[in-house]
Amino acid sequence: MKDGQAIVSGQVVLELSGRPIFVLPGQLPAYRIIMPGQGGPDVVQLQTALRGLGLLRATEGGMGPATQSALASLYRGAGYSPCTVGEDEATVAADAASAAEEAQIQAQDAVTQAQTALRRARRPLSGSAAADPSAVQARADGIEDALRSLAASQRALVRANEEVVRARKRSSTASAAAGTCFPMAEVVYVPTLPARAANVSVGLGSPGTGIALDLVSGSPVAVISELTSASSSDVTVGMRARILASDGADHAAKVTSVTYGSATFNEPAVADTGSVRPVRVVVTPDGAISATQLGTQVRVLIHLQGTASEVLNVAVGAVFTNAAGSSSIAVQASDGSVRIVDVATGAEGDGRVQVTPTTTTETLSAGDVVLIGQGDQGRSTTSPATTETSHW
């Protein structure tokens, strides 16, 4: 796994101790082992993900045979054995049910034999035996013994029938609880896929501790944690902005959230007594930003106001107040000479200010070199017809 690598549904992002960690789409994080027969929103989420992968077509109210089969296909398709539970218990319970059924058959055979013995004992005596007191008594004793044997056999059959019912119930319960399960440690749900890997810090053989990587779902946003009081009063939801990423990319964006404390507002904030106000501003790019930018520091430019067309502008430090109290700039010619040009200032932003000569005799053009501060030089240029305020 490398920084920026695309992650799709059903992909194994990590292998830990020989077991996979799948990525699936979903809003609900894994919070339990999904066992056979269970239901709930996490099961529905799993079924939706399996349908999205084309592995599940049947509709089930819980973790039934079809869902288990689809989950097993996900594992086997990735080259892993599915996680199972309760199979040994189900085998033991099924064997116990078979033994109870065998005992039931034997008890029924015993009843049949006792009934046969009773019929034989009840055969009438014939000839001289009918007149023999000892033979008559022996017949009566035989009938009594046969009746006792039959009663005992019938009671044993009742117990055998009851045990068969109990054993079958236990076997059914164990069978329902056995099957493919889904451990919470083997899945990560991501709200939006595909995602991208970022800040990958592990490799083959790395210890299974700490944070292995970040999954970036959707596009990263820029967050400004504090603004000056004046700026925070002007920033509102919906304003256009730009995000200048550390990789050099320039992304069009807009302000999507402005919060002060626990409140969210779209109206200008009241003035604050301090110079810095703890306002949280979220700026969302119009398009995707590289996942490698996650956690990096970016520059955010919020468009507070603009001009109808391109305007001539110079660095703010180039403007100074002359002896008459007017704004001026010092323009240096190619031969090194300097002339002072009185100007009127206009829109200001991002360290630059719009300037316009106040007399028709003075000229100022894009490309003129102006002096800044103690001799530092900058070059006036044309810029897009906007005024920007910068924040890091």
Cα 278 from Cα 171, distance rounded (Å):
64
Residues 185 and 81 placed together within one structural domain of the fold: yes
What pLDDT does 226 receive?
64
Full residue range of the structural domain in which residue 115 is found: 87-177
- Which amino acid is present at 361? T
Q: Which of 79-93, 220-234, 317-331 has the highest mean pLDDT?
A: 79-93
User: Residue 321 sits in a domain of what CATH number?
Assistant: 2.40.420
Give the pTM: 0.51
Beta bridge partners of 301: 242, 390
Q: What is the count of structural domains for the chain?
A: 4
Give the tens place of pLDDT for each residue, 340-369: 899 999 888 777 889 899 888 888 888 888
pLDDT value of residue 294: 65
Residues 185 and 80 in one domain: yes
Do both 301 and 377 map to the same domain? no
Q: Is residue 40 predicted with pLDDT exceeding 70?
A: yes
The answer on 194 and 70 residing in a single domain is yes
Is the pLDDT at 199 greater than 80? The verdict is no
Q: Is the pLDDT of residue 374 over 80?
A: no
Give pLDDT, residue 225: 66
Do 350 and 301 form a contact (C-beta atoms < 8 A)?
yes
Q: Average pLDDT over the chain, rounded to whole?
A: 83
Tell me how far apart the alpha carbons of residues 296 and 240 are, in angstroms, rounded to a whole number: 21
- The Cα-based distances of 363 to 285, 332, 358, 359 in angstroms read 40, 12, 10, 8
Confidence grade of residue 218 (pLDDT, cut at 50, 70, 90): low
For the cut 70, the answer to whether the pLDDT of residue 389 exceeds it is: no
Peptide bond preceding 194 in cis form (omega within 30 of 0): yes
Q: Based on the fold, state whether residues 369 and 302 are members of the same structural domain.
A: no
Q: Which residue has the higher pLDDT, 267 or 39?
A: 39
Per-residue pLDDT band at 386 (split at 50, 70, 90): very low
**Considering the chain, what percentage of its residues have pLDDT values greater than 90?**
40
Give CA–CA dist 314/311, Å, rounded. Answer: 10
pLDDT the model gives residue 372: 87
Instruction: Say whether both 31 and 151 belong to one domain.
Output: no
Same domain, 207 and 334: no
248 domain residue, yes or no: yes
Using the 3D structure, point to which of 250, 282, 306 is the last residue of a domain. 306
